[in-house]
Amino acid sequence: MIQIRGAGYRYEAHIRQVLSRLPAWYLEAARISRIGVSTAPKVVTQVAMYSHGSRDIQIAPGIGTMLERSLTHELAHGIDDGAPALSAHRFSRSPGWMEAHRQAAGFELPKYRDEPQEYFADMLSKYILHAAGSQTGNSLQRSHPREY
């Protein structure tokens, strides 16, 4: 079970509810050490942050409907983060992903255009949240076939 620090009872329950809806393999592959709730300005501005090395996720309090997408996105960074001897961006800096990133038709946010690892986390989180075979999953497959 992922340790959660700094959350009130209700917010911790909400975080755990979101985590419980994600596939077990996704949580295991991310290898997250802990989730901390933080009011640090950088965290609040970003909504959530993943820390390489510590494998911690920091999340702003009270982000409401953004919680599921934010956690899923940060977990994707954990999946991308290799062991210390490997790259911190083992998938998002691979030749195949770099090619998909270069050929992307557009980006939801400028940081997805500027940072392939952010685009990777965005696409992986969308894939997980909108499982293959669902209406949204099929739409993602049509709109982003290389990434899918």
Question: Crossing angle of helices 95-103/116-129, nearest 10°?
Answer: 90
Indicate the DSSP class of residue 3: E
Q: What integer best gives the mean pLDDT of the chain?
A: 89
Side-chain-facing half-sphere of 17: CA atoms under 13 Å = 9
Predicted local confidence at residue 143, as pLDDT: 75
The yes-or-no verdict on residue 80 having pLDDT over 90 is yes
- 78 CA to centre of own chain: 8
- List, in sequence order, the alpha helices (H) in the chain: 9-20, 24-30, 41-46, 67-80, 95-103, 110-114, 116-129, 135-143
The yes-or-no verdict on residue 32 having pLDDT over 70 is yes
Indicate the DSSP class of residue 135: H
Q: Among 66, 73, 5, 10, which residue's Cα sits nearest to residue 39?
A: 5
Predicted local confidence at residue 74, as pLDDT: 97
Place of tokens 């909504």: 47
Sign of CA dihedral 2, 16, 5, 59: positive
Predicted local confidence at residue 133, as pLDDT: 52
Predicted local confidence at residue 134, as pLDDT: 57
Q: Among 94, 111, 108, which residue's Cα sits nearest to residue 49?
A: 111
pLDDT tens for each residue of 93-145: 999 999 999 999 889 899 999 999 999 999 999 889 886 555 555 677 777 76
Predicted local confidence at residue 82, as pLDDT: 78
Mean of the pLDDT values across residues 60-79?
94
The yes-or-no verdict on residue 85 having pLDDT over 70 is no
Band (pLDDT 50/70/90 cuts) for residue 90 is confident
Predicted local confidence at residue 115, as pLDDT: 93
Sequence-distant (≥ 6) Cβ neighbours of residue 113 within 8 angstroms: 104, 107, 119
Mean of the pLDDT values across residues 76-93?
83
Amino acid at 125: S
**55-69, 76-90, 126-140: which has the highest mean pLDDT?**
55-69
Cα–Cα distance, 69 to 116 (Å, whole number): 18
